[in-house]
Structure formats: C-alpha cells, structure tokens
Amino acid sequence: MKRRPISCKRRTSRVLSSVIGSGTGFSPGTFAFRSMTKLYTASRASAGFNTADIVKLDIGVIEDGWVGDTATTVPVGMVEERIDQLLRVTETALERAIRIAREGTRLGDICAEIEDEARRNRFSVVREFVGHGVGRKLHEEPQIPNYGKRGSGPKLKAGMTLAIEPMINSGIAAVRLLDDGWTVRTADGMPSAHFEHTVLITKDEPEILTWRAKTQLK
C-alpha cells in the first residue's frame, strides 16, 4: 500500500480546539500526536499523516481549575490486521482496568489487568511511562504502571481521580528518547497504541469523566 500524506496535524489541532471550546484552559501544547512510533506535540508538527498510520490523540483540558486527561489511537485509512488488533487490545485493556476501579481495589490489580490483556495477545507494555492521579495538576500521585502484581499497592478510595492509560507495543517493551529531548520511539520501530480515560473512584461503579464512544468497534 502506498503511504501518502492526507491531513495536517496543525489543522487537526484547530478542529480539536473548536470542539473543546473557548471556555477551557486549552493551549496548543495540550494536544499531542503519535504517528506509528513517534510522539510529538501539535505545536511542533505541521506535516501530514500517512495512510496506514495509526495516530494517537492525547488531549488535556483545564476547566474551573480541574484537569481532564484522555487519549485515543485511531487508524488512518486501512491498517494491517495485527495493527488493528493492537488498537483493539489496548482499548480493551483500558476497559478491563476501569471495570475494577472502585473503592477497596488494590492499585496493583488495575495494573495487572492491563498487563494480562497485553501479554495474552502477545504484545508488551511500555514501562517507562505510566498513568497517574489527576486533579488540580496534570500529574499527581499515585503513579499507575501498566504492569503489576495483583493484591499489591495501596487501596483505592472514593473521591480519587485517576488517569488510567495503557501504552502497549506490538514489539518489544523498550522505548528510546531521541536527541531532541522530546521525541520518544519504540526501540524496535514497531507500532505502539495508547488509550486513556480520567476516572472517578466511587464506592460503587467507577465514573468515566472523559467518556467517549468506543474507538475500536470490532
């Protein structure tokens, strides 16, 4: 399949900005795009996406002093079946983690759900970047790795808000930081997917604060 640019990242940023609305604390650096294996912000990128790419949209919004953090990975046109599976597995890993995120659950149980889904499908989880608490600041405690041991870690408490964000690679788990100090690639150059929601912990069912329709519909 011939790969060709079909859209501009800067144009996509403008669309996202208009959807979020002018009443938020949005700034251009709030959006990040990852094209296949490369991560960079919209403010630093103006080239087009390519057909058969997968593109991550990582979006943060500030409203009345509170931060919301969400991410999704979408295909550009048709992608290979294994890449399509990578997206579906990563979104399923997020769903599994959210399903058990309620008061009394151990943090390690959430982490293990993500790792189990990845390994079951012969994928690997990124270890250098993790989920996190979110509230008045974008990154708060606790850290939420995408791997862990069931029954370990602190118990979740009602009122906590967590950004749960599986990052799953189709190849090896390792990533590398490039010389610009910003761009991160998978070490083997294989595709990587990322899905994220901000979730409110309650005594009953978890509440997804960044709800959207499911991306991968298969």
Does this model's pTM top 0.85? My answer is no
Instruction: Identify any residues that bridge with 31 across adjacent strands, giving them in sequence order.
Output: 59
Which residue, among 79, 29, 71, 30, has the nearest Cα to 53 in the 3D structure? Answer: 79
Kindly give the pairing relationship between strand 167-169 and strand 192-194: antiparallel
Q: How much is the pLDDT for 182? A: 76
Torsion 155-158-161-162 (CA) sign: positive
Q: How much is the pLDDT for 214? A: 63
Question: pLDDT tens string for the chain (218 positions)?
Answer: 444 444 555 555 555 555 555 555 544 444 454 545 544 344 444 456 778 888 888 888 888 889 999 999 999 889 999 999 999 999 999 999 999 999 999 999 999 999 999 999 999 999 999 999 999 999 999 999 999 999 999 999 999 999 999 999 999 999 988 887 878 889 999 999 999 999 999 999 999 999 776 655 44
Domains of the chain listed by start with CATH number: 5-208 (3.90.230.10)
Kindly give the pairing relationship between strand 140-144 and strand 161-164: unpaired
Q: How much is the pLDDT for 102? A: 97
State the first-to-last Cα distance of the chain, in angstroms, to the nearest integer: 23
Q: How much is the pLDDT for 43? A: 42
Give Cα separations from 40 to 9, 30, 185 (angstroms): 10, 11, 10
Give Cα separations from 38 to 124, 144, 186, 208 (angstroms): 17, 22, 8, 28
